[in-house]
Each structure stands twice: as C-alpha cells, then as structure tokens.
Structure 1
C-alpha cells in the first residue's frame, strides 16, 4: 500500500503533549476519520487507523447511493482523557488543525472522546463544525445539516441514536456470521470488552436478538455470569467512560480480573475498547469461535494468524465497526432520514450484505476475512478513483 498522503505531528506548547493527523487518501478533496485521545497514542497507530478508514469508506461504496465514500484519515492525541488538562489540549489541537478541518478533514468522536465534547471544543477552537469540509459537496447544506442534527437529537430507550448505530452494525455482523455457519442465535454466549458507546450498544442489540451476554469488562475488571448478565441494568449503571457501578451487580454476578473476558466460555468475543488488546501470548486463552472487532485494531496480526490456525474467525474492524461512519454520511447526504427504525434497517441490510460478501470472498479465495476485505477494497478503490479522481474534482464553490 502507498504511503499516506499527509502525516503530521503536533506538540502542545502548554503541556508538551503530542497529537497526530494522518490523511491516507482524499476523494473529491475530502477525507473522513475520527479523533481519539488516549495515553500512549502514537503516529504509527493513527497511520494504521487512517488506512482502515480508507477501507471502511471503500467497502460501503454504492454507485447508486447519494453518499459517496470519502478518503480515509484519523486524528489522535497522546493524553489521558480523564486528565484535568485534557480538554485544554483538545481545544488547542483542534485550533492547530483548524485549516485541515475547515477544508479537508471531517472528524468526530473516537476512543476516549464523545461527540458533545468534541463539538464543544471545536466551537471554542473557532470551527463551524467538525464536518464542515464536506459541506460544499452537499446538494442542500442547510437541509442536510438540519437532518443530521435531528438524527443526533433522537433517543431510543434512553440512549442517543448516534450512540446506538455502531453497535447495531457490530451486532448484525455477528448475527450474519452465525447465520452463515448455521448457528442458532438463542443462547449463543458473548463476552464484551468495553461497555462504552460501541460495546454497550453491541451488548444491547445482541441480548435483544436472543444471545446471552455472559461477561463484560471495563477499566475495573470483568463482570461475569454464565447464566447471563442483565445488560440493561449494567448500561444504566455506567459512567461517562463506560465504567460500571458495582452496586448494580446481582447476587449471581462475579467480579473477575481484567483479562478474564478473554477466556470466558463463549462462542463470540467482542473487543470493543482498546487497540492491540489481543496479542500472540494472550490469544492462547481464547476458546471462542468468533471474534468481532468492534474496536479499531484490537487483534495484532501475529495473534490473528495463530487464531486462524486453530479455527477462530476474526471478523475485521474495517467491516464490523464501519456502521457509525456510514450512518453519519447516509444521514447527511440523504440516503436515510432522522428516524431510528429507518436507520437501523438500513444499517442491518448494509452490514449483512457486507459481511456476506466478505465471508463469501474469504471462502472462495481460501483466506481470512481480513484478507478478503482487503481484496474487496483493492477492487473498489480504482473504481472510485476513476469516477471521482485521485484527489479532488471541482466543488460547487470552485470558480
């Protein structure tokens, strides 16, 4: 794969903290990818995530849709989001990146940040919106922005629609894999690492589909119950960072060490928290049949090779967790409205079709699902480039 189009490192003049922006590719002059904040974030990490965003965009390319995939990008800040200095660092980072956000890079929440906080910091940094770079590509900017704002205002059973769409996509990917293997939904056991936005929504949708969530892990450890956890009670007991108040646990719920979720007796593992969670050492503890990557890059390549050799299927992040990004653009460009039923139905159809294509290609080529997804991207990127150019085509506001 070619080197990224743009790669830069920023150093905060107040704290010395570093931040990164990587633009992997532009389509119609614009790229898309979230902004994360975590201690230890590196340029290499952000580079890999930006390449992943290029792939997610390409995998959802539909020539008949209003939404046209953008290029891939990612931002990252090496700072603990719980630190008192974190918000100031975020504001100064966005202020420094303002020219890119205004013209090229559309961004939003990622690991360690939520959209409300990103929007607040963006306003303080002088930005109209974190997705304003895409506005010139819209047929009716005012209508599109109103539609997206309406969608973000929708709540479903106590949670925002924007908090649920990603988990809906992850859950549908899992269900599609089960269906392809002829495995019943009812009683299939799931362990989830991380009960934040993605992990929490995934747990809710899987539980409502009849699966049994037997373990969840947060920053304080693993909560397990082989008979099944009360997912809704745990969701209601979360703090802003996905930590669960142990006072909400029932008598049959057990508190276990942090990595206990890996060795839980379950058919499906859903790493939905940090990157690089599964390595070539701890993968030995896994007995699950499927791993659905709700987080970005949670399984290291060496671990994935070892897992594949013993029959464990890794459903890759570029497929599994692509629903959130796609939902933003489906809504903004007008493929769907600000309606939860319409959104969930569209996500389910699209994710199921994508998983079917990916697993079908893997079976046909005798490769892993990740290799199959890469092959699908390799087929689509030239088609996108031929239609829209390698970098940009003239915008509506161009002379």
Structure 2
C-alpha cells in the first residue's frame, strides 16, 4: 500500500495554509499543512519574533520528507505564533491557540512543540482544545497519559541525532574517541552531548546564543548541562577554569573537531563558510541547518553530511508511531520506550547508510533519490 496522498507528490505549494485569529493575544498565528496521508498530518508549533507563513511552508515540507523517509503514513505540517512584542501572559496565549486550532487537532492535524514552545505549552493548548492523542481512533493505546509518557522520551530527538553521528563515526573507521563540536545546546544539543559522551566521545566545544565554550580536553557534559537554562543558554560563571570562552556567532567554526553537530537555527552553514568547516562529519541536528548549496559543496569536498530530514526525526517519529498506531498496544512504559528507540535507531541507521552509499557513488542529491523512491519531490 502506498503511504502517499496524491497531494504530497508535488513541490509547488502546501496543501493549505491558514492564518489564525488569536483574540486578545497581540500575536499572529498560522497553520500550514504541506500534505496529508490517510487523513493525518503533523508538525511542531514554532514561536519566534520572525516566523511567517513562508518559513512554515518550508518547515512543513521538511516534515513531509522526514515522515516519508521513516515510512510513517502521515503528512507534514507546521504551526507558527509570532508575538508582536514580549509575551506577557503565556498561558492565555497557549490556551487561545488551543481553542482556535481545536478543529484542526481533532481533524487529524497534530501540532506539537518546536522552537520557542515547550512541552508544558503543548499540554496547555491540548487541554484547551480538549485533545488527547491517546484517545484518537486508530492510535496506539498507552497505559499512562501522553504528557506523562513523553517525559520518558524527552531526549529522543537528541538520541536520534547521536545515533546518526555514531553510525557515521563507525563507517569512517575511527578507532579512537572523536572530538565533537555542538552548535546549539537546547533540548536536542543536550541530548546529543549526553549520548555521545556516554559512548566515549569528547565534547570539545558547545555554542549557544552568547558564543562558544571550549575545552580541547573535553567539556564536563553533566556539569555543563547543570549550568544551562532550559532555552540552551550556558551560565559561564559555573564553568571550570579550564574552559575557554569565545564570543561571536560562528566561533565554533574555529575549533578543531572530527564531528560537527548543528543543533540550532537554520542556515548555520551557508556557502560563505563552507571552506572554514574543519570536521569530516557534519550532522544536521536542527531544521535546515545547512543551505542546499552549502550541503552540496560540503559533499563535493569529500565530507560526510547527514541531512536534517534523515537525522532530526526522533520526536516526530515517536508521536507518529503513536498517532498512526504503528507502535504495538499492550506495552508498559519502559517496554514502549525501548521499542520506539529501537525502531527509530533502525530507521535512522538505514537511511544514513543509504545516504552515504549514494553520496559515494556520485549522487549530488541523495535525499532527493530516496524521496523519489517514495514518489515525493525534494
């Protein structure tokens, strides 16, 4: 059975885009649905001062690609909230968003959290919408509520990104611990750091909104996380004296490293800085971390590039497996967590192997080839 809706095969425009009225919130909102499969679509809710329908359309298209590449029968979507100034009543905004999007949530468009929104935000707008993923017809039945279950999976996107990095390290033939630079230290970046450090690799530098912290001997990951706020900003005053602090948006490019994990905003690497990349393995842990031309140039330079739509899929895959009923019923929480992690790791590892094989054979657009096999435009 094909997993694709006919509307998912073209690349000209989303399936639909709607502007939301958010009464008394001094904010503008949108929901963009790129495609639907079997009446389902999903994506996160981004809240920034710059988000707009154009950005959301690109992100929704990326969700279509991510979900198709792990063979989940769900289309791609994305929501956005752009406040006109400081958010003075976050709870009111989230509950209003939930009430306004209620018809979409109950109609098959799942909206989770994304940059600028948190799991508690999502819980608030779900409650306002009267929406519970676990009661959706056809969904996998959980023996706890969704919010409680998700707390066991909060690191899952970082887990998936780390899985991809570990696979690329193995494929490179490396026999010694690898030096890793992380650009971005939010939920994803922290999860990547923990999993790579647990496998013996050295996190030698981490970048946040303030700059870059570096220790060539390896940063103490647990202590670093303890000094980091929920939004990914590191408190420099709590760091050991051995840690060097560098200012500048791209100071992380100057650090010698074997693996570079991009886990922050879009276009972290564009054409202007490709020649400055020192790592042999680049992992796009964030959305659209490299521009398409930059990704192509890195590949032409002989570097391994693992694209976002292949590796940044853990959170979406967990939710998708539950919504679409792909995960088995009857498992307790530890069993379900283990099943989902194994399923996600197998999908990411397989796709990363295919990407590397296609790249080695001379393909300039390996992701496009994988998507073409599923009748989806890149």
Partner SS for 2:131: coil
1:268-327 CA-to-partner distances (Å, cap 9, x unmatched) read: 111111122222223343211122111101212232233333333321110011122112
The structure-2 alpha-carbon separation of the partners of 1:337 and 1:259, relative to structure 1 and needing over 3 Å to count, comes to: farther
The structure-2 alpha-carbon separation of the partners of 1:301 and 1:150, relative to structure 1 and needing over 3 Å to count, comes to: same
The structure-2 alpha-carbon separation of the partners of 1:79 and 1:264, relative to structure 1 and needing over 3 Å to count, comes to: farther
2:305 is equivalent to residue 327 of structure 1: no
Distance 2:20 2:146 in 1: 31
The structure-2 alpha-carbon separation of the partners of 1:145 and 1:378, relative to structure 1 and needing over 3 Å to count, comes to: farther
Distance 2:260 2:84 in 1: 26
Aligned residue number for residue 362 of structure 1: 359
Aligned residue number for residue 299 of structure 1: 290
2:39 is equivalent to residue 29 of structure 1: yes
Aligned residue number for residue 115 of structure 1: 119
Per the TM alignment, residue 256 of structure 1 is displaced from its structure 2 partner at its CA by 0.8
Would you say the 8 A contact 2:27–2:84 is kept in 1? Answer: no
The structure-2 alpha-carbon separation of the partners of 1:33 and 1:127, relative to structure 1 and needing over 3 Å to count, comes to: same
Partner SS for 1:144: coil
- The partner residue of 2:374 within 374, 377, 380 is 380
Distance 1:188 1:235 in 2: 20
2:268 is equivalent to residue 270 of structure 1: no
Per the TM alignment, residue 381 of structure 1 is displaced from its structure 2 partner at its CA by 4.3
2:235 is equivalent to residue 232 of structure 1: no
Per the TM alignment, residue 92 of structure 1 is displaced from its structure 2 partner at its CA by 2.5
The structure-2 alpha-carbon separation of the partners of 1:284 and 1:82, relative to structure 1 and needing over 3 Å to count, comes to: farther
Unmatched runs of 5 consecutive residues or more in structure 1: 62-67, 153-159, 383-399
Distance 2:303 2:187 in 1: 26
Distance 2:341 2:322 in 1: 12
Aligned residue number for residue 8 of structure 1: 18
Per the TM alignment, residue 80 of structure 1 is displaced from its structure 2 partner at its CA by 8.6
2:122 is equivalent to residue 126 of structure 1: no
The structure-2 alpha-carbon separation of the partners of 1:97 and 1:52, relative to structure 1 and needing over 3 Å to count, comes to: same
The structure-2 alpha-carbon separation of the partners of 1:304 and 1:11, relative to structure 1 and needing over 3 Å to count, comes to: farther
Q: Which ranges of 4 or more aligned residues in structure 1 deviate by more than 6 Å?
A: none
Q: Residues 210-225 of structure 1: matches in 2 within 5 Å?
A: 210-225=200-215
- The partner residue of 2:78 within 74, 81, 89 is 74
The structure-2 alpha-carbon separation of the partners of 1:372 and 1:270, relative to structure 1 and needing over 3 Å to count, comes to: same
Unmatched runs of 5 consecutive residues or more in structure 2: 1-10
2:109 is equivalent to residue 105 of structure 1: yes
Per the TM alignment, residue 149 of structure 1 is displaced from its structure 2 partner at its CA by 5.2
Distance 2:157 2:112 in 1: 13
Aligned residue number for residue 146 of structure 1: 144
1:187-240 CA-to-partner distances (Å, cap 9, x unmatched) read: 211111221111100111111111111111112221111111011111122212
Would you say the 8 A contact 1:270–1:292 is kept in 2? Answer: yes
Would you say the 8 A contact 1:271–1:293 is kept in 2? Answer: yes
The structure-2 alpha-carbon separation of the partners of 1:294 and 1:259, relative to structure 1 and needing over 3 Å to count, comes to: same
Aligned residue number for residue 344 of structure 2: 347
Would you say the 8 A contact 2:157–2:315 is kept in 1? Answer: yes
Would you say the 8 A contact 1:34–1:108 is kept in 2? Answer: yes
Per the TM alignment, residue 342 of structure 1 is displaced from its structure 2 partner at its CA by 4.0
What is the root-mean-square deviation in Å for CA atoms of aligned residues? 2.4
Partner SS for 1:136: coil
The TM-score, its normalising length taken from structure 2, stands at 0.87
Q: Residues 31-110 of structure 1: matches in 2 within 5 Å?
A: 31-61=41-71, 68-79=72-83, 83-110=87-114
Per the TM alignment, residue 253 of structure 1 is displaced from its structure 2 partner at its CA by 0.4
Would you say the 8 A contact 2:158–2:190 is kept in 1? Answer: yes
